[in-house]
Structure 1
């Protein structure tokens, strides 16, 4: 149990108060130095409260009922969490061609791999559970 006034406790409190499922490192920059914040977020990942999706991007985690391991709490899964993260980062995105074809009824194939079309500059690698996000240009 961290002390009440520690950085770890402040970060845990801020995560508990927010309804978001995705957090950026810069959202905690006012609490302490960059290295301290990264260390505290790494501890949250180790404790199972967060899942690291990529550089500076973390998702809220809940324990799986089957295995007990942490899994993303976002109802939209990894793709939904990435959409929230890209929106927070200010990167314009739209659904992939396969997802648009399925939503418009032109295809019966359900897109399974996480894929988005990014319009702006974006070079981060995002992944969850060993599956990377595929970016269309």
Structure 2
């Protein structure tokens, strides 16, 4: 049963107080955010985890390197998920690479700051793919691959077929987005 089913003629706070009292009396147990069930005698109550712990578990188990804020929306409210993501960024498990974009990170042994696990070009390509944008080889990569230039591209330029109004990067290092031809 959900918390919403208890809202009869009571306000939100009184329903919360009643649910806390029922949990204290071990008549109801919490099984998730806003979800409760009738407690079974002799059985231990289900252990609920925090939003931060759920985010950490999801990031750790995922093969992806880039996460959207919307990936974590089912875990809690917009504000609560935002607080948990900022906390994970502070702890060094995630790094914000754009508006609503986060990447797996680890603490650098050289600077002591969190840095993404993979390179910035791969992060940008994966992030743009997650946002539904098509990525193509940049003009610099194309010139090098066709033999028109001997300069090796740095990998900081990504060509995008669609319009993108975001900056993707971290710690002052951003990818330059150009229009694909």
Cα 1:39–1:62 change in 2 (3 A) is same
Q: Distance in 1 between matches of 2:160 and 2:139?
A: 12
Unpaired stretches in structure 2, ≥5 consecutive residues: 1-46
8 Å contact 2:124–2:169 — kept in the other structure?
no
8 Å contact 1:44–1:50 — kept in the other structure?
yes
User: Relative contact order: is structure 1 or structure 2 higher (C-alpha 8 Å, sep ≥ 6)?
Assistant: 1
Q: For residue 117 of structure 2, what is the aligned residue in structure 1? A: 73
| Selected match of 1:19 from 63, 66, 83 | 63
Deviation at 1:101, TM superposition (A): 1.9
Q: Distance in 2 between matches of 1:104 and 1:66?
A: 38
Q: For residue 10 of structure 1, what is the aligned residue in structure 2? A: 54
8 Å contact 2:51–2:75 — kept in the other structure?
yes
Instruction: State the secondary structure of the residue aligned to 2:49.
Output: coil
Deviation at 1:114, TM superposition (A): 1.2
Q: For residue 32 of structure 2, what is the aligned residue in structure 1? A: none
Alignment of 1:1-137 (within 5 A): 5-74=49-118, 77-112=119-154, 114-137=156-179
8 Å contact 2:160–2:177 — kept in the other structure?
yes
Deviation readout 1:88-130 (Å, 9 max, x if unpaired): 1101121210012223333221222611111112111222220
Deviation at 1:29, TM superposition (A): 0.9
Q: Distance in 1 between matches of 2:141 and 2:127?
A: 19
Aligned CA RMSD, in angstroms, stands at 1.7
Aligned length, in residue pairs:
133
Unpaired stretches in structure 1, ≥5 consecutive residues: none
8 Å contact 1:4–1:10 — kept in the other structure?
no
Q: TM-score, normalised by structure 2?
A: 0.68
